[in-house]
C-alpha cells in the first residue's frame, strides 16, 4: 500500500518499510507514532484527509542534519558580511503499518 501523509507542514510519500526524515517530534527511540492526516491511499484521494485511515511508524532515532552555511551579505557594505551555520533537528521514522 502507498500513502501520502502530512507531517509538520510537509507531505511525504510512504510505503510499508520505508524510512523517512521528518521535523523533530516529541518521541524517543523505539516509540510508536501514528499519523492521522492521510491525504492519499493508493488511488483514493481525500478532501482534504481520508477518514478511518492511519499510518503507524516506529521512531528509529532523533538527531541533527549536516550543517549548512548561511551567508548574509549586503552589496557594497563589507562590514555586514556574516557567516552562520545551522543544523536542523529531525526524527527518523520507519513506517510499519498502513491501515485503511
Cβ(6)–Cβ(37) below 8 Å: yes
Which pLDDT score is estimated for 78?
67
Cα–Cα distances (Å) from 32 to 54, 59, 73, 92, 96, in that order, read: 12, 6, 44, 12, 9
Q: Is the pLDDT of residue 96 over 90?
A: yes
**Domain residue spans in the chain?**
2-99
- % of the chain at pLDDT higher than 70: 96
Per-residue pLDDT reduced to its tens digit, 37-62: 999 999 899 989 999 999 999 999 99
pLDDT of 75: 78
| Residues 86 and 72: beta-carbon distance below 8 Å | no
Amino acid at each position: 500500500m502507498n500513502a501520502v501523509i502530512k507531517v509538520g507542514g510537509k507531505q511525504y510519500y510512504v510505503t510499508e518499510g520505508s524510512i523517512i526524515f521528518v521535523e523533530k517530534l516529541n518521541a524517543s527511540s523505539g516509540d510508536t507514532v501514528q499519523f492521522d492526516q492521510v491525504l492519499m491511499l493508493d488511488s483514493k484521494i481525500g478532501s482534504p484527509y481520508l477518514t478511518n485511515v492511519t499510518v503507524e511508524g516506529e521512531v528509529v532515532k532523533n538527531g541533527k542534519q549536516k550543517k549548512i552555511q548561511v551567508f548574509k551579505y549586503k552589496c557594497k557594505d563589507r562590514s555586514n558580511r556574516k557567516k552562520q551555520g545551522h543544523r536542523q533537528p529531525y526524527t527518523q521514522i520507519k513506517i510499519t503499518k498502513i491501515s485503511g
